Amino acid sequence: MFFIPQYILILFVTILIDYVAAIYIEKSDQSRKKKYLIISIVATCLVLIIFKYLDFFNQNMIQLSHLLGFYYPEKVIKVVLPIGLSFHTFQSLSYVIEVYRGHQKAERNFGIYSLYVMFYPQLVTGPIERPQNLLVQLKEEKKLDYSNLSNGLRLILYGLFVKMVIADNLASYVDQIYANPKEYGTLSILTGLFFYSFQIYCDFLGYSTIAVGCAKSMGYNLMDNFKNPYFSKGIGEFWQRWHISLSSWFRDYVYFSLGGNKVKIQRWMINILIVFALSGFWHGANWTFIIWGLAHGFIYIMESLSDRYLPRIKELKNSWVNLLYITKTFILVSFIWILFRASSIYQVKTLLASLLKNIHLQDKFYVDPKVWIFLGIFILSDYVLFNTRFDKWCSVQKSYARWSVYFILIFMIIVFSSINNFPFIYFQF
Amino acid sequence: MTSIKIIGFKIVLLIGFFVLANFVYKHTLFEKDIQAYSPVIDLVRTVVKDGAEIIYLGESSNNTIRSDDQDKRSISEMISAYYPSKKFGHITKEASHAGIFFDLLQNIPDSSAVKTVIVTLNLRSFDAGWIFSDLETPLQQSMVLLKPYPPLFNRFLLAFKAYDIKTNEERERQFKTAWKNETLVFPEPFKYKNTDQWNKGIAYSGIKNPDGSWNTPMTELACHYVKTYAFQINTETNPRIKDFDRITALAKKRNWNLVFNLLAENVDKADSLVGKELIYLINQNRNVLVSRYQSMNVLVVDNLEKVGDAEFIDRSWTTEHYAEKGRKIVARSVAKALKQIYPSDYSDTISQQQVRDEFFSDCETPIDWGQMNTLTSSNSFSGKFSSLTGQNHDFSLTFEQSLENLPETMNKVEIEFQVFQTNLNHDAKLVIELRGQRIAFSWNGFKLNELSRKEKVWDKVNYQFLLPDNYVKAEIIKVYLFNPTSTSILIDDLRVKFKP
């Protein structure tokens, strides 16, 4: 992942296409509207395909030509993916679709629209905003506000803590396991899987919280991207709490367009699988991501069918049952993360083989005890912040408690953050 | 007014917090962090603790040896032998350069005994390939905690990666850009405008064998020479100049005598492979450095052309790694120059004729004994490291020395070391091995579990061995622990002493 100055042109082209398309969509009659929408979507997606998916298709064609024995030129297509492309193209698409649906007026001010796509706190890895939320705010006059500033700084502080102290300290252990899965036994690999679940969560939560905090300190409210996803009782709930801006994007623009749940059950299942497969493919041009998405889709369908046909199970409600559901969901999600983290299907197989075969206690894996303590602190903080946000939680605390928390977080960020450089995981998407 | 008071109070509170946090960090975790991320500081601490008056700062050129060297001393050890009355110390860190040396020198307290500082002036280190080397990021990282700021602030800089941090790809792009953009100026017209063109020109035309065939290794080597030496130092912009200037200013402030040891480069090879234009650049750069620092009252020892091609260890790469004779030439040259500072302490005869009869390794300092790969930090008697044998590590840290210079009267070897045996049920042996072309191979093994009967504790072993009559004919003596068993045995602080 590089910053290549020429790539700003790509951003400019995407902005220009959708800016013009939206104006034409708004001005045109129904049949032309659709044409402009399709042109806009195709053009925007084409940019994404060229930079993100072309080599994937190329490699698959090569494999297919070997399998079926037809001629296909074996050329390597090496294109560097512009940072944040998947995010700002989706944000752009969301704008034209909303204009098409009549939920949003086409923006005439090119500067304001450009700012909507390029709003720096969330340009690189989201949250993927909707025009109804962000575009409106960009037109408002903003003044420095002490409350916004302090809330923004609180969020930045918490974001730095989860990224630098939790995610980065876990990252080196996860990297060890995935670099040489054959070297490790069952217990180590399970530890690695457990750590990765929190690494990716804290890494992305950290970025999103900092982004929301940056925007907040300037007076802009961005949508929350996470709501304690590991306390979800099922996969459906998990996706309402994890990367909310993306899952709601797919729900609003793909799932509903396919008919949502107002179709026959077989068709509904296909819709679910399409949405989850696309969601996986959005993350990366690799079969591992597609299978990762499908695995979530499959479990989601199983859970939904169970709720539908075995309603008594759903009716069982008490703390212990909830805890069981939460544990089950966490374990499932953690295992499926293997597909997300692995660089290839082969690595997935190797890791699973080691997990199942290397059942011995003489494991090489050493984890610094302080990492467990940090993780414990984070899980506790995630529990305390259940369905709330750090800035909101702070605002109802007494000042001595609030400041004590600030001091502890600042001290931990400075003294316990990893010295190794781990870029945000979602930078690669 | 009230809100200003509140904000003021919060600022005061924050300042108080940072002062307290700095105190807590300094007295709890700072030293642990230093050992984890900046262990090089221990080299500085050692020279200060030992009361060294003269210190030598170098990179791998100081202590790299060739396997057939009889005298395995480093350049700094050789220099110190010329000044037996002076306490010498060295700070050797691989791949380091003036920027790193400056940071290390800053950590020498004013109260130390240091009076003279010898710094290696490596011509190659001024080239873009080294300036933008991929080793730079870890080097810069290792220096952050040593900056002269409060410990908590240093940790803050480390946490937020506030140093020159770049990926290997970014570094590569940097030096390739420099090779393309920096125009080379020659007194006469030359067909290549910059390093990049020159490198490509040689790569395309190639170095030919006498029969006209393409000599790939020599072509690659010629390209290395161009990439390494084809540059012209711009004293306004070259970061190394700034670093050496800072060292000069620091030495002046601390009242140190400053010596720059301009290291020998393989000029013979550069000439034969690439030609006079490259030699022109090398000489021009040398003149820039020598005249600049002499004018700043630095004692510059010019060794640039003093070592011949045969003494360069690396044959397919450009380095300043010299074999024994090369190290001796550089050491003698520096030692002679030091006479200007210490005229009455110089002793040529002692250094040349002195016979070492005692050798010691605590498994910490990077002296070149055999089987250094057995060093482990899992358990040690002193310092951090010891040598681990057993479980497929058959041979321990190995003492290896030529016997040619020993007088015949010294026919006893006293071996002393610390041992840690996990159990006594093994067949490990202390081995004294003598070999040479003029004697029969002699292998003498002594059962370790008879020399020490303690297990799971460190125990001192002392053993004397009488050398056979013909020992002086032996070319090499080796002392080591041979442990082909599965029992883990550690040794530390190995001392070998020859006695009459």
Question: Smallest CA–CA separation between A51 and chain B, in Å?
Answer: 20
Q: Among B29, B152, B159, whose Cβ lies nearest the Cβ of A417?
A: B159
Contact A414 B17 (CB under 8 A): no
Half-sphere exposure of B246 (CA within 13 A, CB side): 16
Domain residue spans in chain B?
31-181+234-351, 358-499
Contact A407 B21 (CB under 8 A): yes
Q: How far is CA A171 from CA A199, A200, A202, B332, in A?
A: 6, 9, 10, 50
Contact A407 B161 (CB under 8 A): no
In this prediction, residue B362 carries a pLDDT of: 86
Question: Exposed/middle/buried for B438, CB within 10 Å: 0-12, 13-18, 19+?
Answer: exposed
Give the SS3 label for residue B421: strand
Say which residue the tokens 């025009």 belong to. A131
Q: How far apart are the first and last CA of chain A?
A: 9
B31-181+234-351 and B358-499, same CATH topology: no
Question: Smallest CA–CA separation between A326 and chain B, in Å?
Answer: 34
Cβ atoms of A172 and A237 closer than 8 Å: no
In this prediction, residue A297 carries a pLDDT of: 97
Q: Could you tell me the two tokens for A12?
A: 């400019």
Residues in chain B with pLDDT < 50?
353
Q: What ipTM was estimated for this complex?
A: 0.88
Q: What is the CATH number of domain B31-181+234-351?
A: 3.40.50.1110
CATH 2.60.120.260 for the B358-499 domain, yes or no:
yes
Contact B141 A164 (CB under 8 A): no
Cβ atoms of A83 and A427 closer than 8 Å: yes
In this prediction, residue B326 carries a pLDDT of: 92
- A2 touches B at CB < 8 Å: yes
Q: Which residues of A touch B165 (CB under 8 A)?
A: 421
Per annotation, catalytic residue among A88, A243, A283, A296: A283
- A410 touches B at CB < 8 Å: yes
Contact A414 B155 (CB under 8 A): yes
Which residues of chain B from 37 to 56 reach within 8 Å of chain A, CB to CB?
Answer: 37
This prediction's pTM: 0.78
In this prediction, residue A422 carries a pLDDT of: 84
In this prediction, residue B368 carries a pLDDT of: 66
- Is A103 marked active-site? no
* Test mutation, A145, A163, A415, A427, chain B, max B CBs within 10 A: A415
- B29 touches A at CB < 8 Å: yes
Cβ atoms of A23 and A108 closer than 8 Å: yes
Angle at A330 between CA A326 and CA A333, to 5 degrees: 140
Question: Smallest CA–CA separation between A407 and chain B, in Å?
Answer: 7
User: pLDDT (tens digit, 0 to 9) for every residue of chain A, 429 residues total?
Assistant: 455 777 888 888 889 999 999 999 999 988 899 999 999 999 999 988 988 898 889 888 988 888 888 888 877 777 777 888 889 899 999 999 999 999 999 999 999 999 999 999 988 887 999 999 999 999 999 898 999 999 999 999 999 999 999 999 999 999 999 998 888 889 899 999 999 999 999 999 999 999 999 999 999 999 999 999 999 999 999 999 999 999 999 999 999 999 988 899 999 999 999 999 999 999 988 999 999 999 999 999 999 998 888 877 777 778 888 899 999 999 999 999 999 999 899 999 999 998 988 887 666 678 899 999 999 999 999 999 999 999 999 999 999 999 999 999 999 999 999 998 888 888 877
Contact B37 A410 (CB under 8 A): no
Question: Exposed/middle/buried for B109, CB within 10 Å: 0-12, 13-18, 19+?
Answer: exposed
- Residue B229: what are its φ and ψ, rounded to 5°? -115, -10
Chain A's closest residue to B17, CA to CA, is A407
Contact A415 B155 (CB under 8 A): yes
Nearest to A403 by CA among B7, B8, B12, B13: B13
Residues across chain B? 500
